[in-house]
């Protein structure tokens, strides 16, 4: 994984209101995307299994956050965690975090 990939991932984290790193076949990702879509349909979702540098991006996310698994979720540059962390917040708190943009 290159410094360029890390910089690219940091840019996504810092410029997208809601950024979700996901994989299409992951049931936890599906649940997280469903909740995010209900609250913020404009979320930026990156399907790591559908892009050439998906493994590198996942490695960069692991280096940045310490979390290797997907979904890996950020709201306004803040690392939320995975699906269980997102679900625990609930819609109202997610909306509140988004509104702080």
Residue 67 DSSP SS3:
coil
> pLDDT tens digits, residue range 47-98?
999 999 999 999 999 999 999 999 999 999 999 999 999 999 999 999 999 9
Cα of 70 vs its chain's centroid, Å: 8
- pLDDT band of residue 43 (cuts 50, 70, 90) is very high
**Domain annotation for the chain: domains and CATH numbers:** 3-99 (3.40.30.10)
pLDDT for 1 equals 74
Once rounded to an integer, what is the mean pLDDT over residues 21-28?
A: 98
- What's 77's DSSP letter? T
Strands 44-47 and 18-22: parallel
- Whole-model pTM: value is 0.95
């Amino acid at each position: 994984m290159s410094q360029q990939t890390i910089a690219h991932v940091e840019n996504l984290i810092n410029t997208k209101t809601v950024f979700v790193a996901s994989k299409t076949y992951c049931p936890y990702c599906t649940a997280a995307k469903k909740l995010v879509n209900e609250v913020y349909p404009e979320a930026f979702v990156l399907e790591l299994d559908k892009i050439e540098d998906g493994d590198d991006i996942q490695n960069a996310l692991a280096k940045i956050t310490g979390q290797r698994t997907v979904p890996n979720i950020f709201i306004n540059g803040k690392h939320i965690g995975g699906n269980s962390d997102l679900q625990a917040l609930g819609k109202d708190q997610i909306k509140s975090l988004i509104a702080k943009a």
